[in-house]
Structure 1
Amino acid sequence: MTSDPTVPRSVSVTVVVPTFRRERDAADQAERFAGMTMVARVLVVDQGSTLATYEPFIELRRREAKIELIDQPNLGGSGGYARGMLESLTSPEHAVYLSDDDAQISEESLALMLAHQGQADRPTIVGTAMYAADDPELQISGPEAVRGADFMWGPAGDASPNYTGWWGTLLPPGTVAELGLPAPYFLKWDDAEYGLRATRAGYDTVVPPGANVWHPTWNAFATQMSWTARILHRNRLATAAACGAGRGVIRSSLLHQGKHILAGHHLTATLWAAGIDQFLAGPGTWLGRDLTHARADGQRVVEGWNEDHLEVATDLAVTHAGPLPAARAAVRALANLVGPARPPRIVCELPADEVTWRTTLGADAVIVTGPDGSRAGTLIADGPTARRLLATTLRQHWALARRWRQLCRSYHRALPKVTTRAAWERMIAAAEEAERPAKDD
Structure 2
Amino acid sequence: DLETEGGQTLRVEQVRWTVEAPEKIRPTAVTICTMNRADDCLKNLQALAADVSSLETLDTIYVADQGTDLVESRDGFEQVAKDLADKLHYIKQPNLGGAGGFTRGLYEVAGHTATEHANVLFMDDDVLLEPDLVIRMTAFSNRAANPIIVGGQMLNLFHPNQLHVGAEYARLNTLEPGQPVEHSLTTADLLGVDEETLKPNRQERRLDAGYNGWWSCLIPYEVVQATGYPMPFFFQWDDAEYSYRARAHGFPTVTLPGAGVWHADFHMKDWDEWHRYFNLRNSIITAALHSPFNLNLLSRVLLAQLVRYLLGMQYGLSATLIKAVEDFLEGPEVLRDGGVEAMKEIRRIRDQYPETKRHKATDVPGIA
Please say whether Structure 1 and Structure 2 have the same fold, judged by a TM-score greater than 0.5: yes
Question: 1 CA distance for matches of 2:304 and 2:291?
Answer: 20
* Matching of residue 47 in structure 1 with residue 58 in structure 2: no
Change (3 A) 1:55 1:182: same
Counterpart of 1:133 in structure 2 is 157
SS at match of 2:161: strand
* Matching of residue 64 in structure 1 with residue 84 in structure 2: yes
Pick from 291, 296, 301 the counterpart of residue 252 of structure 1.
301
On the 8 A contact 1:163/1:205 being kept in 2, the answer is yes
Query: What residue ranges of structure 1 are gaps of 5+ in the alignment?
Result: 314-367, 377-441
Change (3 A) 1:25 1:97: same
Aligned CA RMSD, in angstroms, stands at 2.5
Change (3 A) 1:268 1:54: same
Counterpart of 1:431 in structure 2 is none
Counterpart of 1:156 in structure 2 is 181
Counterpart of 2:310 in structure 1 is 261
The one-letter amino acid of 1:233's match is: L
Question: 1 CA distance for matches of 2:59 and 2:219?
Answer: 15
Counterpart of 2:109 in structure 1 is 88
SS at match of 1:135: coil
Counterpart of 2:280 in structure 1 is 233
Once the 2 structures are TM-superposed, how far is the Cα of residue 291 of structure 1 from its aligned partner?
Answer: 2.7
* Matching of residue 176 in structure 1 with residue 196 in structure 2: no
On the 8 A contact 1:33/1:42 being kept in 2, the answer is no
On the 8 A contact 1:129/1:141 being kept in 2, the answer is yes
SS at match of 1:226: coil
- Comparing 57-66 and 81-90, the one that deviates more: 57-66
Once the 2 structures are TM-superposed, how far is the Cα of residue 178 of structure 1 from its aligned partner?
Answer: 2.5
On the 8 A contact 2:33/2:125 being kept in 1, the answer is yes
Question: 2 CA distance for matches of 1:151 and 1:122?
Answer: 30
Change (3 A) 1:130 1:233: same
Counterpart of 2:47 in structure 1 is 32
Aligned residues: percent identity? Answer: 28
Counterpart of 1:200 in structure 2 is 248
On the 8 A contact 2:226/2:249 being kept in 1, the answer is no
Describe the superposition over 1:129-176 as per-residue Cα deviations: whole angstroms up to 9, x where unpaired.
211222211222331112244242121225731211000101123322
On the 8 A contact 1:103/1:167 being kept in 2, the answer is yes
Describe the superposition over 1:7-48 as per-residue Cα deviations: whole angstroms up to 9, x where unpaired.
246121100001011111111112223423321111000011
On the 8 A contact 2:169/2:210 being kept in 1, the answer is yes
Counterpart of 1:411 in structure 2 is none
Size of the aligned set, in residue pairs, is: 311
Once the 2 structures are TM-superposed, how far is the Cα of residue 288 of structure 1 from its aligned partner?
Answer: 2.1
Once the 2 structures are TM-superposed, how far is the Cα of residue 283 of structure 1 from its aligned partner?
Answer: 1.7
Once the 2 structures are TM-superposed, how far is the Cα of residue 220 of structure 1 from its aligned partner?
Answer: 6.6
SS at match of 1:64: helix
On the 8 A contact 2:121/2:216 being kept in 1, the answer is yes
Counterpart of 1:399 in structure 2 is none
Question: 1 CA distance for matches of 2:37 and 2:323?
Answer: 29
Once the 2 structures are TM-superposed, how far is the Cα of residue 96 of structure 1 from its aligned partner?
Answer: 0.8
Change (3 A) 1:157 1:268: farther
Greater helix fraction, Structure 1 or Structure 2: 1
- Comparing 181-190 and 30-39, the one that deviates more: 30-39
The one-letter amino acid of 1:191's match is: D
The one-letter amino acid of 1:62's match is: K
Change (3 A) 1:148 1:228: closer
Pick from 270, 281, 288 the counterpart of residue 319 of structure 2.
270
Once the 2 structures are TM-superposed, how far is the Cα of residue 375 of structure 1 from its aligned partner?
Answer: 7.7
Question: 1 CA distance for matches of 2:275 and 2:363?
Answer: 20
Once the 2 structures are TM-superposed, how far is the Cα of residue 92 of structure 1 from its aligned partner?
Answer: 4.5
Question: 2 CA distance for matches of 1:190 and 1:99?
Answer: 14
Describe the superposition over 1:211-263 as per-residue Cα deviations: whole angstroms up to 9, x where unpaired.
221112243761x3111111110111111112253223333222222222223
On the 8 A contact 1:145/1:162 being kept in 2, the answer is yes
Counterpart of 1:76 in structure 2 is 97
In the TM superposition, what are the counterparts of 1:23-422 in structure 2 within 5 Å? 23-34=38-49, 35=52, 36-49=55-68, 50-65=70-85, 66-89=87-110, 90=112, 91-153=115-177, 154-158=179-183, 160-219=208-267, 222=270, 224-247=271-294, 248-284=297-333, 286-289=334-337, 291-306=339-354
Change (3 A) 1:115 1:63: closer
On the 8 A contact 2:211/2:253 being kept in 1, the answer is yes
